Structure 1
Amino acid sequence: MQKNVSLRHFNTFGLESRAQFFEEVKSIGELTDIIKNPVWKEMPKFILGGGSNVLFTQDINALVIKMAIKGIELLKEDQDFVWLHVGAGERWHDFVMYCVEHDYAGVENLSLIPGTIGAAPMQNIGAYGVEIKDVVETVEAISVESAEIRTFSKEECLFGYRESIFKHALKGKLIITGVLFRLNKKAVYHVEYGDIQKTLTEMNVESPSIKAISEAVIRIRESKLPDPAKIGNAGSFFKNPEISSEQFDKLKSDFPTVPGYPTIPGFVKVPAGWLIEQAGWKGYRDGEIGVHARQALVLVNYGGGSGAEIRALSEKIQKSVKEKFGVSLSAEVNFI
């Protein structure tokens, strides 16, 4: 067990925060030993995956457990599907590349998303018309109170737009240890969202494939999103707000160019990046923090910023967008 450990290299914002105690776990057995150990039983615990969706605003007076449970295992298959069990500590993009390499369809649109397998169900990560709920079969987790292992069906996960039961009702009560995915052997391609089809055309791809779509998504993401190794960021900072059709019609009358995408009946999703850009924040910089010049949805740390400064900036953006458009933005990043 390590004491007073810097977390700067464990979060993609590159923010300084110190963990009172820190331990990396590589197996369920190691995790169970910590939970059952009377020394650590009453201490608050913070589970850290890839650190790609957190904003550290203070030191962590808790036991920080870095999940490093690895492994991708083929459990079963039939003529249509394969079932892969993946450890919570595996990098999400590595898993996607494994699926692309083996021609397993379903996650190619989610290429290059940062973070780990364990964090993915919490957020119900998604991109380009696909969400993780589309391929999850079960999620395995361990109770931080009793060390009991429980398996959640997809329905029990209560997946929503960047939401799950692990993010709300069971927040802080469970540690995700692994996920069982069901992937397709017969691909159904999703190329209608964003610039995927346009990028495939630019790549001279006439017939889509799992690999080609993955490469197109990677090309798009690299052109729009800064590399955390060069500029600290956590990708999309805000969720795309869903508003009522009536509110969208009013917004459209006031701002005719506003884009919108119908979701469930009676609701429309509006791109948060468009709202932020139109409110004048794209490319904004204040000292060592700011809004990315190519993608207004991304807040950045140029090297010496603090989590408190980034949080304050996000609140200014929320206030500005609310005043201009009457639309409330919610953070996708978790404040710690």
Structure 2
Amino acid sequence: MPLVPKFDLGGRNTLGLRSRARFGGVLKDEGQIVAAAQFAARAGLPFHLLGGGSNCVLAEEIDAVVGIADLRGRRLERIDGGVRITAGAGEPWDELVRWTVGLGIGGLENLAGIPGTAGAAPVQNIGAFGVELSDVVESVDVIDTANWSPRRLTAPDCGFGYRHSRFKDEPGRFFVTGITLYLPAGWSPVLSHDGLRGCAYPSSPVQIMSAVLASRRTRLPDWRVTGNAGSFFHNPVVSAAVAARIPEVPRHAAPGGLKLPAGKLLDLCGFRGQRRGGAAFSGTNALILVNAGGATFEDVDALAASARDAVRSRFGVDLVQEPSRIGS
């Protein structure tokens, strides 16, 4: 089993935080994941399975066993009515999208440019530019720790919601090992998002992917240059009465109420460019918390807490942090 003590995670999280786990290692198959998780249980330690580290905030010292899921392999199968794509949990998500689009297959182009791995995608139910993973996922392969056996969950079994899934409701029960996507042959572009209004209809998958990537470059700092974990808070869904009290903020209909842009709320509270130690909110997008240089877990945590407090105090709206806190 490839576990080592004092496992360095500093280069394995897109926020670029210094971090190390009590034990950790790169896990390349289901057997290694089970062995690492059971080792953690015997040692009385938590077990965390990470992908690309793109949606987490890591403590400097994590008293746990941390595995990096590196199960690889991808396959495309043409079936009646569409295409079925399978990918191991360790496959980089953006590479998977570019691969399908490069083959002329539509369906994933709106999700281009999202960092992380295929295995992390269903946990968060990633989404962008009007499309969510739940729109295209057929099933998710997991290890069920209830009996330590492989299991295939259909899309309805996964309990998908806005940036949510069953995997968040039952933390630690399932370890994702692979995903299966279904892309119907009758593809049509999704151009409803404001960021794609400039795309002519009809557009090809490659044209839409290019527009998505261009839009992301203008709105989001590249994590390889400036460490970040993408959108730091969910866009809150509130009642019509709450939204009416905030006329200066746009809103969109959503299941359960009206969705407000968290970035606009933070902007109105003056958090664009605000800094705490080495952590700061981006000067161009208040929804993105960045590592401005030498940020620590404590810097990030304190800045995020002050932002939540300010939005709650001014608007009566609770912001929910999107990246998971690990090791605190």
- TM-score above 0.5: yes
- The C-alpha deviation readout for 1:58-117, integer Å capped at 9, x for no partner, is 412222111000111124511x21111110000110111011112222211111011111
Task: Map 1:175-214 to 2 at 5 A.
Answer: 175-198=175-198, 200=199, 207-214=202-209
- Partners of 2:289 and 2:211 in 1: CA distance: 24
SS at 2:87's partner residue? strand
- Partners of 2:253 and 2:234 in 1: CA distance: 16
Displacement of 1:186 in angstroms is 2.5
Q: Does 1:248 align with 2:243?
A: yes
Displacement of 1:38 in angstroms is 9.4
Total equivalences in the alignment: 324
- Partners of 2:144 and 2:7 in 1: CA distance: 25
Task: Report if aligned partners of 1:35, 1:145 keep a CA contact under 8 Å in 2.
Answer: no
Task: Report if aligned partners of 1:36, 1:146 keep a CA contact under 8 Å in 2.
Answer: no
Q: Could you tell me which residue of structure 2 aligns to residue 312 of structure 1?
A: 302
TM-score, structure 1 as length reference:
0.91
Q: Could you tell me which residue of structure 2 aligns to residue 291 of structure 1?
A: 281
Task: Map 1:1-336 to 2 at 5 A.
Answer: 1-35=3-37, 43-78=45-80, 80-144=81-145, 146-168=147-169, 170-198=170-198, 200=199, 207-252=202-247, 257-264=248-255, 267-336=257-326
- Partners of 2:146 and 2:153 in 1: CA distance: 17
Pick which of 135-144 and 35-44 moved more: 35-44
- Partners of 1:115 and 1:295 in 2: CA distance: 21
Unaligned runs of 5+ in 1: none
One-letter identity of the residue aligned with 1:263 = A
- Partners of 2:262 and 2:40 in 1: CA distance: 46
- The C-alpha deviation readout for 1:268-303, integer Å capped at 9, x for no partner, is 100000110111111112332111011110011122
Task: Report if aligned partners of 1:240, 1:269 keep a CA contact under 8 Å in 2.
Answer: yes
Task: Report if aligned partners of 2:104, 2:205 keep a CA contact under 8 Å in 1.
Answer: yes
Task: Report if aligned partners of 2:27, 2:33 keep a CA contact under 8 Å in 1.
Answer: yes
Pick which of 2-11 and 242-251 moved more: 242-251
Task: Report if aligned partners of 2:36, 2:65 keep a CA contact under 8 Å in 1.
Answer: no
Displacement of 1:129 in angstroms is 0.9
Distance of aligned partners of 1:76 and 1:269 in 2 relative to their CA distance in 1, 3 Å threshold: same
- Partners of 2:147 and 2:293 in 1: CA distance: 41
SS at 1:176's partner residue? strand
Task: Report if aligned partners of 2:17, 2:60 keep a CA contact under 8 Å in 1.
Answer: no
Task: Report if aligned partners of 1:105, 1:186 keep a CA contact under 8 Å in 2.
Answer: no
TM-score, structure 2 as length reference:
0.94
- Partners of 1:313 and 1:195 in 2: CA distance: 28
SS at 2:97's partner residue? helix
- Partners of 2:258 and 2:268 in 1: CA distance: 18
Give me the CA root mean square deviation: 1.8
- Partners of 1:38 and 1:49 in 2: CA distance: 18
Displacement of 1:267 in angstroms is 0.9
Displacement of 1:48 in angstroms is 1.1
Displacement of 1:151 in angstroms is 0.9
Distance of aligned partners of 1:317 and 1:8 in 2 relative to their CA distance in 1, 3 Å threshold: same
- The C-alpha deviation readout for 1:89-148, integer Å capped at 9, x for no partner, is 001101110111122222111110111111110111111111000001011100346420
- Partners of 1:195 and 1:173 in 2: CA distance: 37
- Partners of 1:96 and 1:124 in 2: CA distance: 15
Task: Report if aligned partners of 1:36, 1:147 keep a CA contact under 8 Å in 2.
Answer: no
One-letter identity of the residue aligned with 1:222 = R
- Partners of 1:327 and 1:310 in 2: CA distance: 20
One-letter identity of the residue aligned with 1:215 = S
Structure 1 stretches of 4+ with a deviation exceeding 3 A read 32-43
What percentage of aligned pairs have identical amino acids? Answer: 36
- Partners of 1:161 and 1:206 in 2: CA distance: 27
Displacement of 1:13 in angstroms is 0.7
Unaligned runs of 5+ in 2: none
Pick which of 25-34 and 236-245 moved more: 25-34
One-letter identity of the residue aligned with 1:2 = V
Task: Report if aligned partners of 2:311, 2:317 keep a CA contact under 8 Å in 1.
Answer: yes
Displacement of 1:184 in angstroms is 2.5
